Amino acid sequence: MKKPAIIEDAILHVRDRLKGDSSGHDWRHVERVYRMALRINEVERGDELVVALAALLHDVSDYKLNGGDVEAGPREARAWLESQRLDAPRIAHIERIIATMSFKGAGVASKMDTLEGKIVQDADRLDAIGAIGIARAFAYGGKMGRDIYDPDIAPTMHRSFDSYRANQSSSINHFHEKLLLLKGLMNTATAKKLAEHRHCVMLEFLNEFDAEWKGNA
C-alpha cells in the first residue's frame, strides 16, 4: 500500500535532519524504530498515522545532543507538523509522545499514557538493547568522550533526571544504569517478547567482556 504523502515527506525531512549523526541517533536508528513501531501496531491497533509520525520525528532534536534543551525536540516536531497542516489533536498527541519518550533515570517514572505512545516508546527502547543496542551504546559513548569501562567507578541508580543527564560514567556502566532495565519497562506484549532475547544477548556480551577484562578468556 502506498504511504500517505505526509509520511513520505517526514522520511525525507528526517533523513536530511539527521544526516551526519554518528552518535547512534542517525536516520537508520529512526528507520528501525519506525518499522518496529508499525510492526507492534499491527497487533496493538493504535492510530497508525500518530505511531508512524511520532516514530519518525522522535529524535529530530535530542537533548543529549543539542546542548540539553529537552523542549527543542517536541517543539521542532510540532512546527514541522503544523507546516504540513496535520490536524491539531494529532499534533498535540505526537508532541506529547516525543516529550515523554526518553528514559530519565533508573529511579524516575516516565509513564506513557496513550497506546500510541507506549508503542513508539517500546520500539525506541528495543533499538537501545540487543546487538544493535550494544553497538549504539559504544558509538554514543565514543562520541561523548566516555571511557569504554572504568572499574573504579560503580554504576549509579539515578533518582532524578538531572543526575541521570549529568552523569559522565562509562559505557559499560550505562548497561547497568539503563539498558538492562529496559526489558522490565516494556509496555506491549510484542516488545516484552522481543526484549527477552535482546536482554540475553547483552548479558552474554557483558559476561564475555568481564572475562576478557580479567584475563580469564
Chain residues binding ligand ADP by CB under 6 A are 24-25, 59, 62, 101-103, 124, 128, 133, 136-137, 140-141, 146, 171, 174, 179
What does residue 13 show for φ and ψ, rounded to 5 degrees? -60, -50
57 interface partner picked from ligand ADP, Ni ion, none, CB below 5 to 8 A per type: none
Which residue number, 25 or 93, has a Cβ lying nearer to ligand ADP? 25
Closest CA to 198 of 134, 148, 136: 134
Binders of Ni ion among residues 59 to 78 (CB under 5 A) are 59
Indicate whether 124 belongs to the interface with Ni ion (CB under 5 A). Answer: yes
SS3 content of the chain, % helix, strand, coil (to 5): 65, 0, 35
What is the spatial distance between Cα 51 and Cα 187, in angstroms, rounded to a whole number?
14
Amino acid at the residue 151? P
Query: Residue 21 binds which one of Ni ion, ligand ADP, none, with CB within 5 to 8 A depending on kind?
Result: none
- Write the binding mask 21 to 60 for Ni ion: x where contact by CB under 5 A, - elsewhere: --------------------------------------x-
Based on CB atoms, which residue is closest to Ni ion, 31 or 210? Answer: 31
Taking the complex as a whole, the smallest distance from the CB of residue 1 to ligand ADP amounts, in Å, to: 28
| Residue 122 makes contact with Ni ion by CB under 5 A | no
Q: How far apart are alpha carbons 214 and 98 in whole angstroms?
A: 41
> Which cell numbers hold the place of 43?
497487533
At 60, list the grid cell: 529530530
State the minimum distance, in angstroms, from the CB of residue 97 to Ni ion: 12
Cell representation of residue 91 = 499534533
